[in-house]
């Protein structure tokens, strides 16, 4: 295993631990990104459902991140088309249909919030950034 692959594994653990500490449910599988290591988590509150993608890494001062444009067809991660494709993937497993239904319901009510968990390499700070679904 090379160092970059090991780093991807560590990032997955950081994502899982951070998401679960916040009360989110981490979905099985990987959803694109570097080394296909991006994960998804769902967090439900009273009025909305947060769909959290990560862990993305940034090392520059501007804090830019890259969303994968080829992880589920030709769709950018967290775009409406990508979310719809991801929801269809979840529907293929009887154990995951309930998550797909939650996502679809939140989309229909305008209550889905998309966010990305980001690790700033310089400071080792983890942040969650809300993104617009287009």
- Reported as a single tens digit per residue, the pLDDT across 29-64 is 999 877 778 999 999 999 999 999 999 988 766 778
Q: Model-level pTM?
A: 0.91
Our measurement of the distance from residue 9's CA atom to the centroid of its chain's CA atoms, rounded to an integer in Å, reads 15
Q: How far apart are CA 53 and CA 115, in angstroms?
A: 6
Banded pLDDT at 91 (limits 50, 70, 90): very high
Res 4: pLDDT: 57
Mean pLDDT, residues 58-82 taken together: 87
User: What is the rounded distance in angstroms from the CA atom of residue 46 to the CA atom of residue 2?
Assistant: 43
Range of the domain at 24: 3-131
- What is the rounded CA–CA span in Å between residue 84 and residue 3? 34
**Separation in Å, CA 39 to CA 25, 54, 58:** 11, 5, 17
Residue 2 has pLDDT above 70, yes or no: no
Question: Under a CB-based contact definition with an 8 Å cutoff, are residues 92 and 98 in contact?
Answer: no
Domain count, the chain: 1
pLDDT at position 102 is: 97
């Amino acid at each position: 295993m090379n160092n970059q692959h090991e780093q991807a594994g560590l990032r997955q653990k950081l994502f899982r631990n951070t998401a679960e500490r916040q009360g989110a449910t981490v979905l099985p599988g990987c959803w694109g990104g570097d080394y296909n290591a991006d994960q998804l988590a769902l967090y439900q509150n009273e009025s909305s459902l947060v769909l959290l993608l990560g862990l993305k890494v940034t090392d520059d001062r501007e804090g830019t991140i890259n969303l994968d444009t080829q992880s589920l067809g030709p769709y950018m991660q967290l775009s409406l088309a990508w979310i719809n494709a991801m929801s269809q993937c979840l529907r293929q497993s009887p154990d995951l249909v309930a998550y797909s239904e939650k996502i679809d319901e939140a989309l229909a009510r305008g209550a889905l919030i998309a966010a990305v968990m980001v690790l700033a390499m310089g400071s080792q700070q983890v942040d969650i950034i809300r993104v617009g679904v287009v």
